[in-house]
A and B are shown apart, each in its own frame.
Chain A
């Protein structure tokens, strides 16, 4: 079993829909990253969370440390949101463990 599990693996949506991507982990962590990866490979860090909730534009990330679970929400989704979204947890000594990613496609 992977230490970081994401769901769903693939997600399609119509423009304007509300999207949720989930991340569960089984190890103790110092922080959690939500990352966005577009075709071509470059990774952008969207959020780093250690507790609670963060919001940036149409993106919202939450984390529940006790339940070892985090969610990434996209409100009013747009085709430009199409990408792979990766959850990565930070262990002690700054080691990152990545989930396998959620491939999101938003259609007009």
Chain B
């Protein structure tokens, strides 16, 4: 039973570019949350998707957007990349009304 799969694992982008990160949730999970973890910090909540809609959003600018597909997989898009967007981006999935989260291994984004 595959857990949460994130791709790519590492990515280097130039300031001003756009990036798309992908997440496939654990089988049986329908809720996907995205987190940004800067070096030495705890993860910060970006947003959560359920039933293909953004259900909650953290304190992140509109440059951060997402999408959930009918198969429950999700994408995180970041436009106009800034150096400060360099971080580990984590995806976590859960089954609705079940608080047990499963985390992916993350995508490490470096903006140069």
Contacts and interface: CB of A to CB of B under 8 A. Distances in A.
Interface of A: 4, 30-31, 33, 35, 40-45, 48, 50, 86, 88, 90, 93-101
B101 interface: yes
A45 B101 contact: yes
Contacts of A101: 42
B92 interface: yes
Nearest to B105: A42
Contacts of B45: 95-97
Contacts of A96: 33, 35, 43, 45, 92, 101
Interface string B11-42: 00000000000000000000101010100011
Nearest to A38: B105
B99 to A, nearest CB: 4
Report the interface size class on chain B: 20 to 34
A8 to B, nearest CB: 15
B99 A94 contact: yes
24 contacts: A4-B42, A30-B99, A35-B103, A40-B105, A41-B37, A41-B108, A42-B104, A43-B92, A43-B105, A44-B103, A45-B100, A45-B102, A48-B99, A48-B101, A86-B42, A93-B56, A94-B48, A95-B33, A95-B48, A96-B43, A96-B45, A98-B35, A98-B42, A98-B43
Contacts of A98: 35, 42-44
Interface string B41-85: 111110010000001100000000000000000000000000000
B110 to A, nearest CB: 13
